[in-house]
Amino acid sequence: MGNRFAEIAFTPAVQAEQERYGSRNNYLRFLEGEPWNDVLTAKEADFIHARDGFYLASVSETGWPYVQFRGGAPGFLRVLDSKTLAWANFRGNRQYVSTGNLAGNDRVALILMDYANRRRLKVLGTARVRRAGEDDGLAQRLAVPGYKGELESVVEVRVAGFDWNCPQHITPRFTLDEVERAVKPLRERVAELEAKLASCESAH
């Protein structure tokens, strides 16, 4: 047993390449001991709920990988319990590539990025899509307040394993909201100094 993410990702072919490039011994401990990295904790939940998007990978019936970006308000991707993620699907370009892929192969990978703090969470799991109205009301619970798109379905992902990735090559990037929060104290200070300056000038 051991690290559930490594058990899935480190196939015999991967292990052979690790041996070839000299990293195999570094990862042996990942495959030993009791199962771990398959149950989401508060740390993962807080990180997931703060994200405004993630990358979703699926595999087609012809074996081609497909990756798409899913975005929304922070918190649109929910942790329902320690083994389950879910989000609401709203009508988009109506290609349904991921939905079609999941009909034939339910395996998925999610990559969630926090560019500002150089953090990355990778999740492996199995997914199912349920149309709105056939989901015991889950779609309405996952609906994004104020978003007027047509809610079509929900996607539930059963977590098989996850991994916090090395930040070494993550380039810091910032959203508009993050920039606004960072400069707000500066703007307030500028406004305060301008008000004092105006007061001094009027006194003269």
Helices (H), the chain: 4-9, 12-21, 24-27, 42-49, 97-104, 138-142, 176-203
- Top-confidence residue, 18 or 31: 18
> Do residues 49 and 135 share a domain?
yes
Based on the fold, state whether residues 108 and 145 are members of the same structural domain. Answer: yes
Q: Do 77 and 151 belong to one domain?
A: yes
Torsion of CA 173, 181, 86, 145, to 10 degrees: -140
Query: Does residue 1 have a pLDDT over 70?
Result: no
User: Tell me: the pLDDT tens digits for 120-172?
Assistant: 999 999 999 998 888 788 887 887 777 777 888 999 999 999 999 888 889 99
In angstroms, rounded to a whole number, what is the distance separating the alpha carbons of residues 4 and 16? 19
- For residues 169-184, b (16+ Cβ closer than 10 Å) or e, as one string? ebeeeeeeeeeeeeee
pLDDT beyond 70 at 184 = yes
- Band (pLDDT 50/70/90 cuts) for residue 34 is confident
Q: Are both 147 and 103 inside the same structural domain?
A: yes
**Co-location of 53 and 2 in the same domain:** no
